[in-house]
Amino acid sequence: MNYCSECGHQIEYEGNYCSECGMKIQGNSNNDENNKFESMTMQQFPLGRFFLYRKLLVGIGISLLVIIILSNIGGGGIGKDSPTQVAETFINYTRDSEWEKAEELWSQSGKEYLVAQLFNDERMIYQTMRNLTHRTDGDLFEYEITSEEIHGEEAVVNANLAFDNGRREKAMFAMVKEDGDWKVFAFQTGN
C-alpha cells in the first residue's frame, strides 16, 4: 500500500491523486510506467511540434489572405487598377482588336471630348483605337511602359511602342478617375 506524502492518507486504489487532499501521488509504480510511456510517445510522435507547425501554417495562411484582400481593395474590376495597368490593358485590347473591351477602359468624358473634336462622329472612337496599334505599314509588335505620374484624380502614363515594320514611337496616355476607376481620357503618339 502507498500513502499520500502530503496528508498521510492510505491509497487504496491505483490512482494518480490522493482521494483526501488531491495531491499527486509520487512513487506509484503504475505512475512511473505512465510517465515512461508518455515520454516515449512524445519522442516518437512529437504532437507538440505538429500543433506548433499547424498554428504557424494557419497564421501564415491568414496573413497571406489579409495581404491579398488588402492589395485588391478598390481593384478587381475593369478600370480599377493603377493607371499603368489600365494603359497596358488598353494597349493589349487594341492590339488584339477587342474594341468593345478597350472602349470600356476609355472614360466617358474622354470619348465625348474626342467625338466633339472629330466632327461628332462616334465611329472615330474605334478608328482612333485602331490607329494606336494598327498602321497601314505595320502593327504593334511590342511596347514598354516607361513612366507613370499620378496627380490626385489624374495621371499620365508614357510608353514606347515598337511596330513590326521597325518603326518606333512614344505614346502618352492621359488618365482620369471616373467613378473611382482609372480610365483612359486621351492618348497621343509620335516620335
pLDDT score, position 18:
72
pLDDT score, position 80:
54
Is residue 92 classed exposed, middle or buried when 0-12, 13-18 and 19+ CB atoms within 10 A define those classes?
middle
119-164 pLDDT, tens per residue?
Answer: 777 888 888 888 888 877 788 989 999 999 999 999 999 999 999 9
Distance (Å, whole) CA 18 – CA 8:
9
pLDDT score, position 78:
44
What residues in the chain have per-residue pLDDT under 50? Answer: 28-31, 37-38, 41-42, 74-79
Distance (Å, whole) CA 147 – CA 159:
7
Q: Mean pLDDT in the chain?
A: 78
All three cell numbers of 52, joined, read 506548433
pLDDT score, position 74:
45
pTM score > 0.75 for this model? no
pLDDT score, position 31:
47
User: Contact 152/180 with Cβ under 8 angstroms?
Assistant: no
Q: Where are the beta strands (DSSP E) in the chain?
A: 2-3, 10-11, 134-135, 138-151, 154-163, 168-178, 181-190
> Could you give the domains of the chain?
1-47 (no CATH), 83-190 (3.10.450.50)
Nearest of 104, 111, 84, 122 to residue 186 by alpha carbon = 111
